[in-house]
Chains A and B, each alone.
Chain A
Amino acid sequence: MFTLVTERENPTFEKIISPIIDVPPSPALITVKSPIINPSPSPAQLTPAVANSMVVSARTYADFTPQATFDIKKCDLHKLEEGPPLQAVLTREEGLQYYRTMQTIRRMELKADQLYKQKIIRGFCHLYDGQEACAVGIETGINLSDHLITAYRAHGYTLTRGGTVREIMAELTGRRGGIAKGKGGSMHMYTKHFYGGNGIVGAQVPLGAGVALACKYLGNNEICVCLYGDGAANQGQIFETYNMASLWKLPCIFICENNKYGMGTSVERAAASTDYYKRGDFIPGLRLDGMDVLCVREATKFAAEHCRSGKGPILMELQTYRYHGHSMSDPGVSYRTREEIQEVRSKSDPISMLKDRMLSNNMASVEELKEIDVEVRKEIEDAAQFATTDPEPPLDDLCNHIFYNDPPMEVRGTNPWTKLKSVS
């Protein structure tokens, strides 16, 4: 992570702060320079005399803008008269919270990468870095009591839906403190109202429609968000689901996270129509920039409103990007160039975008955000420590939860003399 360094137009601020503290630019002035290590010296590095004469330490939160309105990109619409608003209001608290969550997801995924390479995490691991704005934006557009289901790239959603980093990392390492008791692994994480974490692509979408039916039936004004990727968008069962959801007007938001590659196949080579938001045909659709958390939030709010008002399902296509390969066994550069990845990282990184917006509108300070970074790093380190040292689930757990059964069931092991017990 590097900080952008340019001038800022605010004479009062400049007089006080420059030349020691680097001040962030407004979005229009962003120029990317080569990574600079620690451009802003921490107070500990300043001599006491200099520190006392600096006004930095005297900055209070009262100096910050409490909220600002941002222009967001217009969405492409399909069978809709109006789309989500073109402006989004972001309060300081919201901004800090989104930043923290996205940074947590980013750090967690990078830590998972590290642990995988150390062979502490094994099996399959599909990382979500680059797509943080989708998870965070969607969650802020719905309530925690709503339902969500996605495919295997699920670590981000597990966090936004109420999981803790400790539980998620312990699940990745397969320990008993994991969110699925260490029996699920990367692809199978669940929380209340989050139905996973599914390995077979496309299979989760009809499931989500079923959850939406339950919501409608119970009349609890909840909705279900069904996510799938650009690769899965070509599965037959998704079209079957579109039909059922539309026929019965289910409160279902279908979201296609289009990260441009289905494993190693680019969307142009897999889909006759890459307008995934139109593929619902009779279902209204939106296409939006999935790297902008505010865009995602506004669109999700719009879609949730559409569903809750009884108009039936709606489809959203989030155009996003993943920095890692499909999974940890995929280097991610055999079907796309490193330049492409670098370009997206520098121009459209979701965390940088939010950070720039907040800093340029004086909604937060660089130090504050750095503090959040430090706290997040510590949280991830603690979680990784826990995940590495927690014991594995006991062997007695191996066969539990096959069936629902009472009393315990006997299960044959790999040979006729090992009898294992299944309790559920």
Chain B
Amino acid sequence: MAATRLFLRASPVKCSLTGLTGGVHSSLGLTLLKLSPACTAKPQAQRRHAAHFTYHPEPAPSQYGPTQKMNLFQSVTSALDNTLAGDPTAVIFGEDVAFGGVFRCTVGLRDKYGKDRVFNTPLCEQGIVGFGIGAAAAGATAIAEIQFADYIYPAFDQIVNEAAKYRYRSGNMFDCGKLTIRSPWGCVGHGSIYHSQCPEAFFTHCPGIKIVVPRGPVQAKGLLLSCIADQNPCIFFEPKILYRAAVEQVPTEAYQIPLSQAEVLQEGSDLTLVAWGTQVHVLKEVAAMAQEKLGVSCELIDLRTILPWDTETVCKSVVKTGRLLISHEAPVTGGFAAEISSTVQVRVRWEIKAFYFFYVTDFKL
């Protein structure tokens, strides 16, 4: 939690730096540590922090029609509402979705569309996904909810062995492309081991599925609608810490944001920052602080689709800047940053000027 936090305190506030003993290997690191105001290497009394970033809403998109103020879970409800309205075969199911869901993502849908289109399942993730695969294969647009990404593992076999490989092994005769799995994802501060996990790396090891993580309400609605429309089984992870924290003007009509396209949020010349989900907002602040204090110009990229990921955009950016920094919430070993870094190294090998740093905030076991 150490170094990344110190980027985030632009105003003189007590630093949350604790436990920083020796081990500062590079001069860059030392410089960064010294720059943080009111920060000493001595552990300070631990303070509880609510969120380690501020959400800055993006300007309302003008090309999709009238907009309305929504937070992340409301934008998801809006996307599902558009889907149920436009597609008579669409069904939503999962644990506790009928009353609105534990994060209120499906509020009002059962009343509007009926109990045969929005219904609860018993407590059985493997059953939920297996059932979803079958429904999708038979022609229904199946939107399954796994209540927390931490609970997705009983369904791992169904996703990896059944959903991902259906089209291939049947020679394109069958597929479950109409399946979308939605799941709350990521750190929330009080979730501990079973309500905070980011399992995207486990699934990236599997061709045949798509994995998408939005950074805000406008992105979430567009990306979710794309996932639902996409002819491949998709897993859509929603950063749970942003459900209420992220508020934006979101178009009320249906619109799609293309998958497998990363977005360059900020152009820069010295360093490429890559992140997805909540970390995008952390890195936004990092970029601002780096510019202000170090005079470093950062190019910030939101990966958006984790699998298949947009290698072109990232590599092009690294060719320009020569340095890459990736930040994600999951454990370092086998995390998706390792994949990005190795791919970029292979493709951009001669343009690299500096080592790759992997930042992992909110260290988890």
Q: Hey, which bits of chain A sit against chain B, CB under 8 A? A: 122-124, 185, 187, 199-202, 231-232, 234-237, 262-265, 269-271, 334-335, 392, 395-396, 398-399, 402, 412-420
Contact B123 A201 (CB under 8 A): yes
How far does the alpha carbon of A269 sit from the alpha carbon of B153 in the complex, in Å? 24
Contact A414 B24 (CB under 8 A): no
C-beta contact mask, B342-365 vs A, less than 8 Å → 1, else 0? 000000000000000111111101
Taking chain A's interface residues, is the majority helix, strand, or loop, or is none over half, making it mixed? loop
Contact A124 B192 (CB under 8 A): yes
Q: Which chain B residue has the least Cβ–Cβ distance from A271?
A: B122
Q: Is B49 an interface residue (CB 8 A)?
A: no
Write out the residue numbers on chain B whose beta carbons fall within 8 Å of the beta carbon of A417.
2-3, 20, 23-26, 29, 33
Taking chain B's interface residues, is the majority helix, strand, or loop, or is none over half, making it mixed? loop
Q: How far is the CB of B24 from chain A (nearest CB, A)?
A: 5
C-beta contact mask, B243-256 vs A, less than 8 Å → 1, else 0? 00000000000000
Write out the residue numbers on chain B whose beta carbons fall within 8 Å of the beta carbon of A415.
2-4, 29, 357, 359-360
Please name the 5 residue pairs, one residue from A and one from B, whose CB atoms are nearest each other, closest first: A415-B3, A199-B194, A234-B122, A419-B23, A231-B123
How far does the alpha carbon of A185 sit from the alpha carbon of B195 in the complex, in Å? 13
Could you give 14 example pairs across A and B, Cβ below 8 Å? Answer: A124-B192, A200-B151, A234-B123, A236-B127, A236-B154, A264-B99, A270-B122, A412-B332, A414-B361, A414-B363, A417-B2, A417-B20, A417-B24, A419-B23
Q: A263-B96, A414-B363, A415-B357 are in contact. Are A269 and B120 (CB under 8 A)?
A: yes
How far does the alpha carbon of A372 sit from the alpha carbon of B300 in the complex, in Å? 64
Contact A395 B99 (CB under 8 A): no
How far does the alpha carbon of A399 sit from the alpha carbon of B365 in the complex, in Å? 8
How far does the alpha carbon of A251 sit from the alpha carbon of B194 in the complex, in Å? 30
How far does the alpha carbon of A387 sit from the alpha carbon of B151 in the complex, in Å? 31
Contact A420 B19 (CB under 8 A): yes
Q: Is B1 an interface residue (CB 8 A)?
A: yes
Write out the residue numbers on chain B whose beta carbons fall within 8 Å of the beta carbon of A124.
190, 192, 195
Write out the residue numbers on chain B whose beta carbons fall within 8 Å of the beta carbon of A264.
96, 99
Q: How far is the CB of B363 from chain A (nearest CB, A)?
A: 5
Write out the residue numbers on chain B whose beta carbons fall within 8 Å of the beta carbon of A185.
192
Q: Is B193 an interface residue (CB 8 A)?
A: yes
Q: Is B43 an interface residue (CB 8 A)?
A: yes
Q: Hey, which bits of chain B sit against chain A, CB under 8 A? A: 1-4, 18-26, 29, 33, 43, 46, 95-96, 99, 120, 122-124, 126-127, 150-151, 153-154, 190-195, 332, 357-363, 365
Write out the residue numbers on chain B whose beta carbons fall within 8 Å of the beta carbon of A398.
19
A-B interface pairs (CB < 8 A), number: 105
Write out the residue numbers on chain A whose beta carbons fall within 8 Å of the beta carbon of B359.
414-415
Q: A414-B1, A415-B3, A416-B25 are in contact. Are A234 and B46 (CB under 8 A)?
A: no
Residue in B1, B24, B193 whose beta carbon sits within 8 Å of that of A199 in the complex:
B193
Write out the residue numbers on chain A whose beta carbons fall within 8 Å of the beta carbon of B190.
122-124
Contact B24 A265 (CB under 8 A): no
Q: Which chain A residue has the least Cβ–Cβ distance from B363?
A: A414
Q: Which chain B residue has the least Cβ–Cβ distance from A229?
A: B123
Write out the residue numbers on chain A whose beta carbons fall within 8 Å of the beta carbon of B195.
124
Write out the residue numbers on chain B whose beta carbons fall within 8 Å of the beta carbon of A269.
120
How far does the alpha carbon of A415 sit from the alpha carbon of B5 in the complex, in Å? 10
Write out the residue numbers on chain A whose beta carbons fall within 8 Å of the beta carbon of B29.
415-417
How far does the alpha carbon of A22 sit from the alpha carbon of B347 in the complex, in Å? 87
Residue in A236, A399, A419 whose beta carbon sits within 8 Å of that of B124 in the complex:
A236
Q: A395-B19, A420-B19 are in contact. Are A414 and B362 (CB under 8 A)?
A: yes
Task: With a 10 A CB-CB cut-off, give which of B21, B127, B190, B363 has the most chain A CB atoms.
Answer: B363
How far does the alpha carbon of A187 sit from the alpha carbon of B190 in the complex, in Å? 13
How far does the alpha carbon of A124 sit from the alpha carbon of B188 in the complex, in Å? 12
Write out the residue numbers on chain B whose beta carbons fall within 8 Å of the beta carbon of A416.
25-26, 29, 357-358
A271-B122, A413-B1 known; 5 new pairs, CB 8 Å cut-off, are A187-B192, A199-B150, A237-B154, A334-B99, A392-B46
Contact A235 B3 (CB under 8 A): no
Q: How far is the CB of A218 from chain B (nearest CB, A)?
A: 30
How far does the alpha carbon of A412 sit from the alpha carbon of B23 in the complex, in Å? 10
Q: Which chain A residue has the least Cβ–Cβ distance from B7?
A: A415
Write out the residue numbers on chain B whose beta carbons fall within 8 Å of the beta carbon of A200.
150-151, 153, 194
Contact A418 B3 (CB under 8 A): yes
Write out the residue numbers on chain B whose beta carbons fall within 8 Å of the beta carbon of A414.
1-4, 359-363
How far does the alpha carbon of A118 sit from the alpha carbon of B20 in the complex, in Å? 31
Contact A265 B120 (CB under 8 A): yes
Q: Which chain A residue has the least Cβ–Cβ distance from B360?
A: A414
Task: With a 10 A CB-CB cut-off, give which of A235, A335, A392, A413 has the most chain B CB atoms.
Answer: A413
Q: Which chain B residue has the least Cβ–Cβ distance from A395?
A: B19
Contact B25 A235 (CB under 8 A): no
Q: How far is the CB of A10 from chain B (nearest CB, A)?
A: 51
Contact B122 A418 (CB under 8 A): no
How far does the alpha carbon of A264 sit from the alpha carbon of B123 in the complex, in Å? 11
Q: Which chain A residue has the least Cβ–Cβ distance from B123?
A: A231
How far does the alpha carbon of A399 sit from the alpha carbon of B25 in the complex, in Å? 21
Contact A402 B99 (CB under 8 A): no
How far does the alpha carbon of A185 sit from the alpha carbon of B191 in the complex, in Å? 11
How far does the alpha carbon of A403 sit from the alpha carbon of B323 in the complex, in Å? 34
Write out the residue numbers on chain A whose beta carbons fall within 8 Å of the beta carbon of B33.
417
Q: How far is the CB of A389 from chain B (nearest CB, A)?
A: 15
Q: Which chain B residue has the least Cβ–Cβ distance from A269?
A: B120
Residue in A122, A234, A262, A402 whose beta carbon sits within 8 Å of that of B365 in the complex:
A402
Write out the residue numbers on chain B whose beta carbons fall within 8 Å of the beta carbon of A262.
122-123
Q: How far is the CB of B145 from chain A (nearest CB, A)?
A: 14
Write out the residue numbers on chain A whose beta carbons fall within 8 Å of the beta carbon of B21.
419
Q: How far is the CB of A126 from chain B (nearest CB, A)?
A: 12
Write out the residue numbers on chain A whose beta carbons fall within 8 Å of the beta carbon of B122.
231, 234, 262, 265, 270-271
Q: Which chain B residue has the least Cβ–Cβ distance from A410?
A: B23
Contact B19 A418 (CB under 8 A): yes
How far does the alpha carbon of A199 sit from the alpha carbon of B194 in the complex, in Å? 7
Write out the residue numbers on chain A whose beta carbons fall within 8 Å of the beta carbon of B193.
199
Contact B43 A187 (CB under 8 A): no
How far does the alpha carbon of A157 sit from the alpha carbon of B357 in the complex, in Å? 46
How far does the alpha carbon of A415 sit from the alpha carbon of B33 in the complex, in Å? 12
Contact B123 A202 (CB under 8 A): yes
